[in-house]
Structure 1
Amino acid sequence: MEQLQVGDVTITWLNGGVTHLDGGAMFGVVPKPLWSKKYPCNENNQIELRTDPLLLQIDGKHILIESGIGNGKLSEKQKRNFGVTEESSVEQSLQKLGLTPNDIDFILMTHMHFDHACGLTKWVGDKLVSAFPNARIVTSQVEWDEMRQPNIRSRNTYWKENWETIVDQVVIFTEETEVVRGIRMVHTGGHSDGHSIVVIESNGETAVHLADLMPTHAHQNVLWVLAFDDYPMTSIAQKQKWIPYAIEKRAWLTFYHDAYYRALKWDDNGEIVESILRKR
């Protein structure tokens, strides 16, 4: 498992599973001859997208960013449609670190789409239960409201199986919240109306997790936004704000979906100056 140290915060990428989604959908109006130079696709025009939670450890606290694709949550049809070739093994990843799901204190949900939220619950017999029973699950008020009452566009990605059994664990915020020392969530909107990012600041070092505003390194161009985005102009505006912020701070940009990079730093010219590659 790849790790990154940001001040006092240790970040470890867990194995949350993998999807393969349509490249055109992931890059919106960008022509394939352009995006395919940055991020390869298979013969079905699908690109590999990890769903790997980030484990943050600081001050004895264990914090997840996202929850993975889950295990046993998808039907065979769903696996085929979403190109799932590997389900989550987050519990096994935690075991390698001497931890169990019971040790997780917080789960930071940037948004609650199925590929981020399926890992929140699991089947025990014929009953769905919380996969992380001791965790406080943090998401924005807007996201939590929409998940429970999705609109005609979002109802296919907000599933009751991912939230009904964890209602009592959810902690909501409006604009911004500091979860623990140096780790804060900021509501941005864009990809979904309630989408948030995570900013980590510790001992003069910074990491920014832009979640699905920038799901892969190939989405560096602020205009390259997803066809899945509910509010693409908001996504563009937020990328215009936070990518320069990260560059100015010499911050790490971390990824949940990227199949090639776990994290990287760009210089003022947009060139990669440091990176952590995913071990393949």
Structure 2
Amino acid sequence: MEQLQVGRAKLTWLNGGVSFLDGGAMFGVVPKALWAKKYQHNEKNQIELRADPILLQIDGKHFLIETGQGNDKLTEKQLRNFGVIEQASINESLAKLRLSADDIDAVLMTHLHYDHANGLTKKAGEKTYISQFTNAVIYTSAIEWNEMRNPNIRSVNTYFESNWQPVEEQVETFADEIEIVPGLRLIHTGGHSEGHSIIVFEDGEDCFIHMADLMPTHAHQNKLWALAYDDYPVTSVHEKEYWMAYGYRKEAWYTFYHDAYYRAIKFNHAGEKIAEVARVRYPYK
């Protein structure tokens, strides 16, 4: 498991599963001739995407950023349509660190689409689900939590009742931003979804920014490259413009949940890569 130390924060990437989605959908209006130079694709025009939560340890607390693909949450048709070839093994990842799901103090959800939120719950029967992280507070924006429970015609296929009903007593929402511990903030941006948020950690001169699905991979660094999946792509562009400039000034690390090749990249003031944490790649099971 790859790790990164940023000031007081220690980040460890867990195994949350992998899928292959259409490259055109992931890069929106960007021509394939451009995005294909920056991210590999297969013969079906699909690109490899991780769904790997980040264990974030700060001041003796254990936080989890996102929760992975989950297990036994998708039908055979969904597994096929979403290109899922490996489901999550978060508990196994935590066990290697001598931790368990019960040790997680809080879960930081940038948004609640199935590929981020499936790991919030687990099966306890044929049609019964219970909380995966029973001792954790689950943070998400109030807008996102409202849409999760009341999806529209476009979002109904990505917000699952099984991901929110068992944990609703654990959820704490916020409007614009919330500070979890000193220096660690969840900030509402909108864009990918109306309630989408990013995570910013600052400790003196040290900083990391988790852009979530505003910049799901290193190949999405260009501020104009928005996903076809984005509900509000113009908002995505403006928010990315602001937060990329912010991070460049601080020479911040940018961390990734979906990237199959990099866990994190650090950029200088000009937006040039000056450091990286590459993902160690293994054959799939």
Which TM-score bucket, shorter chain as reference?
A: over 0.9
Indicate if the aligned counterparts of 1:8 and 1:203 stay in contact, CA closer than 8 A: no
Which amino acid letter does the alignment assign opposite residue 52 of structure 2?
D
Give 1:199 shift. 0.3
CA–CA separation in structure 2 for the residues paired with 1:199 and 1:87 = 28
SS in 1 for 2:93: helix
Give the corresponding residue for 1:264.
265
Counterpart for residue 128 of structure 1: 129
3-state SS of 2:44 partner: coil
* C-alpha distance after superposition, 1:24-71 (max 9, x if no partner): 000000011110110011111110000000110011110001000001
What are the within-5 Å matches in structure 2 for residues 61-80 of structure 1?
61-80=61-80
Alignment-derived partner of residue 111 in structure 1: 111
CA distance in 2, matches of 1:172, 1:125: 29
In the other structure, the counterpart of 1:24 is 24
Shift of 1:265: 1.1
Segment drifting more, 139-148 vs 123-132: 123-132
Cα separation, 2, equivalents of 1:160 and 1:261 = 32
Tell me the TM-score normalized by structure 2.
0.97
Corresponding residue for 1:37?
37
**Where do 5+ consecutive residues of structure 2 fail to align?**
none
Aligned residues of 2:248 and 2:270 also touching (Cα < 8 A): no
Aligned counterpart, 2:143: 142
Structure 2 SS opposite 1:41: coil
Aligned residue identity for 1:269 = A
2:14 paired residue number: 14
Residue 272 of structure 1 aligns with an amino acid whose one-letter code is K
Q: What does residue 87 of structure 1 align with?
A: 87
Alignment match, 2:186? 185
Q: Which aligned runs of 4 or more in structure 1 are off by greater than 4 angstroms?
A: none
TM-score (norm 1): 0.98
Farther-moved stretch of structure 1 (122-131 vs 87-96): 122-131
How far apart in 1 are the matches of 2:271 and 2:200? 20
Structure 1: gaps spanning 5 or more residues: none
Displacement of 1:255:
0.3
Cα RMSD, aligned residues only: 0.8
Alpha-carbon distance in 1 for matches of 2:14, 2:240: 26
Q: Is the 8 A contact 2:56 2:64 kept in 1?
A: yes
Write out per-residue CA displacement over residues 195-243 of structure 1, whole angstroms, 9 at most, x where no aligned residue: 0000011243000000000000000111110000000000000011000
Aligned pairs, number: 280
Q: Equivalent residue of 2:37, what SS?
A: helix
Q: Which AA in structure 1 matches 2:39?
A: Y
* Whole-angstrom CA distance in 2 between matches of 1:279 and 1:106: 27
What is residue 233 of structure 2 aligned with on the other side?
A: 232
Q: 1:181 & 1:77 partners in 2: Cα distance?
A: 44
Percent identity for Structure 1 against Structure 2: 62
* Number of the residue aligned with 1:159: 160
What CA deviation, in whole Å up to 9, does each residue of 1:146-188 have, x standing for no partner?
Answer: 1100111111111111101000000000001001122110000
Deviations 1:120-165 (A, max 9, x none): 0010233201011111000000000011001111111111111010
Contact conserved, 2:251 with 2:269, CA < 8 A, in 1? Answer: no
CA distance in 2, matches of 1:261, 1:244: 20
